[in-house]
A = this chain, B = another copy of it.
């Protein structure tokens, strides 16, 4: 509440009368909470706030704002003002802002880089290096601000260096000290071991070798898996020669894991992943994220009509067959959705590999036949009582129940093996979404039911 008051209608007055007092009052709050309120106030109020308060305060808040608000604020500041705030940000966050600006305000980015080139060439250099990486690989997540020292450094010297860098706010994480020989990463010492160790020992004496690293080109999902597996606070990023390039910290990884889970959940529901929140995405964005898949699935679904047409004669004479069409095809779709959600998730966390397809096939075969028998039994009962004179109840029951077994089997096979195949060819297995599997199985299910079920019925 108090925070909302500080940034409320009296903000302009407060900024004019005593910006220092306002700054002190705001220091009480976490930048994340401040960012949440800044997001909702008028743009010109926000800009006045960034102008009046120190650059490091602005940097802390700016990095936590959504992209469109960042762009709005940076665009309204002068190049000098903007550069002041940006150069206080950690390089990885700065690059994210610059990459965001690039899309809409190319000329502003050129001006900013020119300004850095003149006044702080090392910032311009870092931005250029980091911009080379895609946002979703280790290189795009890492920060180049870490502590790296040669192996012969004494522990007390290392502590002094950590204090110096940390006081100058030049490092993002001080909890690991990386030991480099030339630029090659050869060991790591935790701050904990450093402050516990004998000050006269060298880093080479106390360091752990066999450092777990990721490559700069590794996908962010692999980075997340490595950090989660080893319970690290940070993981070093190296190039193909083992040269240290940066570190990815665990707090960025938590964001990555959440982001990837959202992406997968959307894809599984046949939605093109939306980057922003549900309410932040405009109506056209929501429409666009859904229309492609929905139309493709609909046009693909024309095949069901084609199958139905080709069995038209049979349906004419045995209309009871038509009655069970929705039930049977949906059971195949449901079984397929189940298998797909198990396998896609297992692929995402690394439990299953495409090369395991033979084992997956065996397991799904057994499980789906068991499931099919359960449903088949239920289906037999329902069909038995549906026969109203035209058909023999047992024959109709058999037609429905045997088709159900077949459809559940096919559904599970498609649902489990298709994601493996898609991953095998290098695509994201989550594109074999639940609706996609269901629609595919609809067609196959119809063919099975209308031909096998129809054959059984006509034998009677």
Contact = CB atoms under 8 A, between A and B. Distances in A.
Sort A-B residue pairs by CB-CB distance and give the 9 closest, nearest first.
Answer: A269-B341, A261-B261, A304-B326, A231-B251, A277-B351, A278-B346, A308-B323, A334-B435, A434-B434
Interface stretch (A5-13, A103-111, A120-128, A293-301): A293-301
Given A294-B375, A367-B290, A434 B233 contact: no
Contacts of A32: 229-231
Contacts of A329: 326, 330
Given A166-B195, A283-B367, A333 B435 contact: yes
Contact of A233 (B251, B274, B343): B251
A327 interface: yes
A386 B324 contact: no
A30 B210 contact: yes
Given A195-B166, A304-B326, A309-B323, A286 B334 contact: no
Contacts of A166: 192, 195-196
A287 B330 contact: no
Contacts of A181: none
Contacts of A115: none
A232 interface: yes
A298 B325 contact: no
Interface of A: 28-30, 32, 159, 162-163, 166-167, 174-175, 191-192, 195-196, 209-210, 212, 224, 227-233, 250-251, 253-255, 257-258, 261-262, 264-266, 268-271, 274, 277-279, 283, 286-287, 289-291, 293-295, 297-299, 301-302, 304-305, 308-309, 312, 315-316, 319, 322-327, 329-331, 333-335, 337-338, 340-346, 348-349, 351-352, 356, 359-360, 363, 366-367, 370-371, 374-375, 378-379, 382, 386, 404, 408, 433-435, 438-439, 442, 446
12 contacts: A162-B195, A254-B257, A258-B349, A261-B261, A265-B345, A269-B337, A277-B346, A278-B343, A294-B334, A305-B323, A326-B329, A333-B438
A367 B408 CA distance: 33
Contact of A308 (B229, B322, B330, B351): B322
A305 B331 contact: no
A405 to B, nearest CB: 12
Contacts of A253: 254
B254 A341 contact: no
A201 B345 CA distance: 51
Contacts of A29: 210
A60 to B, nearest CB: 11
B338 A269 contact: yes
- In this complex, the member of A175, A283, A366, A434 whose beta carbon has the largest number of chain B beta carbons within 10 angstroms is A434
Given A251-B232, A298-B331, A305-B324, A345 B262 contact: yes
Nearest to A282: B363
A199 B163 CA distance: 13
A144 to B, nearest CB: 18
A276 to B, nearest CB: 9
A374 B295 contact: yes
Contacts of A212: 30
Contacts of A28: 209-210
Contacts of A301: 326-327, 330-331
A245 to B, nearest CB: 22
A268 B264 CA distance: 11
A257 B265 contact: no
A337 B270 contact: yes
B352 A279 contact: yes
A438 B30 CA distance: 43
Contacts of A283: 363, 366-367
B254 A352 contact: no
